[in-house]
Amino acid sequence: MGAVQSRRWFLVPGVIFLLAIDMVPLVYSLWVSFYQWWLVRPRDIRFLGLGNYLMLAADPAFRRSVLVTCTLTFGAVLAEFSAGLALALLFAQPFRFLRPLRAVIMMPLFVVPVVGATMWRLILHPEMGILNFYLGLLGLGNPEWLANSTMAMCALILVDSWRTIPFIFLVILAGLETLPAELYEAARVDGASWLQAFRFITLPLLAYIMLVAVLIRGMDVFREFDIVFVLTGGGPGTATETIQMLNYRVFGLGHMGQANAIGIITLILVALMCYLLIRVVQRSR
Q: What is the DSSP string of 145-160?
A: TTTSHHHHHHHHHHHH
Q: Is residue 239 part of a domain?
A: yes
Q: Is residue 35 part of a domain?
A: no
- Count the Cβ atoms, other than its own, within 10 Å of residue 25: 10
Q: What is the pTM of this model?
A: 0.89
Burial class (CB in 10 A: 0-12, 13-18, 19+), 95: exposed
Per-residue pLDDT of 183-197, as tens digits, reads: 888 888 888 888 888
Domain that holds residue 199: 59-284
236: cis peptide before it, omega within 30°?
A: yes
Q: Is residue 50 part of a domain?
A: no
Domain tally for the chain?
1
Q: Is residue 13 part of a domain?
A: no
Query: Phi-psi bin for 49: left (phi > 0), alpha (psi -120 to 50), beta?
Result: left
Q: Is residue 51 part of a domain?
A: no
Least confident of 62-76, 88-102, 140-154, 159-173: 88-102
Q: Is residue 119 part of a domain?
A: yes
CATH number of residue 248's parent domain = 1.10.3720.10
Q: Is residue 18 part of a domain?
A: no
For the segment 65-86, the average pLDDT, to the nearest whole number, is 94
